Chains A and B, each alone.
Chain A
Amino acid sequence: MSYNVENDRGHNAPCSNRDFDFFYRGLVDQRLLVQKCSDCGTLRSLPSPCCPHCRSFDWQEYPLSGKGVIHSYVIHYHPPLPGFTSPHPVVLADMEEGVRILAAMDGTPPESVTIGTAVTTEFVRRGDVAGLRFRLV
């Protein structure tokens, strides 16, 4: 079995589909995008094809400010992961627009990562792939 890997998705993220492509294309343009339902206006973060509130398939890209507050986090130690130096924080933040975003927070000392701390977003490259991470405000 082989899979058709389209060369022209506008990003280099290794495992995506047509529901997620906009997010990775946004990172290439240094924008943090979520979906906004065109009918009821609800924002949704983890991409999905349809609005779980009004079941509309129509949506628009909606850029977030990047500002949020840490809801939870993990400091990853083992095993070492490609593109990261252990230990490195991974942070789930409540964004000011009311949705959650999970992102790396490598580059920040683990001891300064705590629940309730304000964070903002910066855009990074990991190899060929555009990414983002949180940092302290």
Chain B
Amino acid sequence: MNNFSSKTAIAGYGATEFSKNSGRSELRLAVEATLAALADAGIDPGEVDGMSSFVMDNNSEQEIFRAIGGKDLKFFSRIGQGGGASCAPLQQAAMAIACGVAKVVVCYRAMNERSEYRFGTPMHSLPPTSDNVIFAYHGAAGLMTPAAMIALMMRRYMHETGATSLDFANYAVTARKFAATNPNAFFYGKPITIADHQASRMIADPLRLLDCCQESDGGVAIVVTSAERARDLRQKPVYIRAAAQGSPGGSVSLGGFYRDDISPRDESAAAARQLYAQSGLGPKDIQAAILYDHFGPSILPSLEAYGFCARGEAKDFIKNGNIEIGGTLPLNMHGGQLGEAYIHGVNGITEAVRQLRGQAVNQVPGVKTMLVTGGSGLPTSAAILGVE
């Protein structure tokens, strides 16, 4: 394989504020984030020649490009599977740049998913695409929301591992503790207790309200360029050590109920195998992680899938303080999507960039290598990022 490991780097990032009502168009959010990311990198917008995002973003590549005064867009791609794909644009950018197809690729995500429409609502499912007929088939059973789909997977996980709602609470409390000291987080200054979690209402038993990510308005963009170019720019380069997608046989979008292990783990494990092979790194080399928390409980099988602990041990790994700053694997220091915002995982990539540059509010001292992942329980993506 023509390995693209460390041949490209994140040179800049930009973000709008995260809110429940941005007061402006989704396109404007995307353009603000894109221009901020380019300014952060010190790259003129006229140099952008590639753009990548993933489905469920309503902003077309060429409209952002038109707005920023782009000149010649040569590479544009959009990956399926919503939040599962949050790290896939990094792989797209790295491959495009390593192949010489593009030189400066903007990866973006911008949505008014709270103020203009509601995410996480029942998935009514016309037209009959290959995925929609499955959502409809499951929907006929009364399984219509992402929360309920993940809940069905997690109930079996609890049965097999002995994890309980209190183990889910341990993650939620940690995420909200980090958010409480992050001024950009929606839940800044609002930590929760185990009792708050246990008192929060059921959404899809075993998932409680405080297990669920937020619906958020906001935009995020990331600029990727070659490693050589990045070294001459304003910011410390954050190298893409590895980036991968994962979708093993038997994967169904939020509906992999027909394989031996229905917990949200197989796709993540498939991505993990590629990341470690590409980079020559292993779980022991990862010093901090951003794991996708559409629903906090999914963190447990993700910790196992990426090799940080054995099957069934994630509950104790969390309980024993490993995900705290100072632990063996500080996790979601921005507060996660439970605490900061739900920009479909891309705000997690920007947190990794801040951490690796040493600019985060909840900084992990001296962190040089991090894992970032996309949503689990569906075809997914992930990346290993690092600094020298």
Contact = CB atoms under 8 A, between A and B. Distances in A.
Interface of A: 3, 13-17, 19-20, 23, 45-47, 52, 71-79, 81-84, 87-88, 90-92, 99-100, 102-104, 106, 110, 115, 126, 129, 131, 133
Interface of B: 121-122, 125-128, 130, 132-138, 140-145, 148, 151-153, 155-156, 159, 201-206, 249, 252, 255, 257-258, 262
B236 to A, nearest CB: 44
B202 A77 contact: yes
Given A19-B133, A92-B257, A73 B148 contact: no
Nearest to B151: A74
Nearest to B127: A3
Contacts of B257: 46, 72, 92, 100, 102
Contact of B201 (A3, A23, A78): A78
B136 A14 contact: yes
B258 A45 contact: yes
Given A3-B127, A23-B137, A92-B257, A73 B142 contact: no
Contacts of B126: 3, 14-15
B132 A46 contact: no
Contacts of B142: 76, 81, 83-84, 88, 90, 104, 106
Contacts of B152: 72-74, 90, 92
Nearest to B249: A52
A14 B285 CA distance: 50
Contacts of B135: 15
A77 B143 contact: no
Given A46-B258, A84-B142, A74 B136 contact: no
Contacts of B156: 71-72, 92, 115
B205 A87 contact: yes
Nearest to B205: A75
A16 B128 contact: yes
Contacts of A75: 202, 204-205
24 contacts: A3-B128, A16-B128, A17-B130, A46-B137, A46-B255, A71-B262, A72-B152, A74-B148, A76-B142, A76-B143, A76-B144, A76-B145, A77-B201, A77-B203, A79-B121, A79-B122, A81-B122, A87-B202, A92-B152, A92-B156, A102-B141, A102-B143, A110-B205, A129-B140
A127 to B, nearest CB: 11
**Most chain B CB within a 10 A radius of its CB, from A71, A74, A79:** A74
A72 B262 contact: yes
B140 A13 contact: yes
A100 B133 contact: no
A70 to B, nearest CB: 10
Given A20-B133, A46-B252, A81-B142, A15 B125 contact: yes
A104 B125 CA distance: 18
Contacts of B143: 74, 76, 90, 102
Contacts of A17: 128, 130, 133
Contacts of B127: 3, 15
A9 to B, nearest CB: 11
Contacts of A45: 258
B258 A100 contact: yes
Contacts of A79: 121-122, 145
Contacts of A78: 201-204
A87 to B, nearest CB: 7
Contacts of A104: 140-142
Nearest to A126: B140
Contact of A72 (B128, B138, B159): B159
A87 B132 CA distance: 25
Given A14-B126, A16-B133, A99-B258, 9 more contacts: A13-B140, A14-B125, A20-B137, A46-B134, A74-B155, A77-B203, A79-B121, A81-B144, A129-B140
Nearest to B152: A74
Task: Enumerate the 7 nearest inter-chain pairs by beta-carbon distance, A residue then B residue, closest first.
Answer: A15-B136, A75-B205, A72-B156, A74-B151, A74-B152, A77-B202, A104-B142
B140 A131 contact: yes
Contacts of A19: 133
A57 B201 CA distance: 47
A136 to B, nearest CB: 17
A48 B27 CA distance: 38
A104 B142 CA distance: 6
A129 B139 CA distance: 13
B148 A90 contact: yes
A91 B155 CA distance: 11
A57 to B, nearest CB: 16
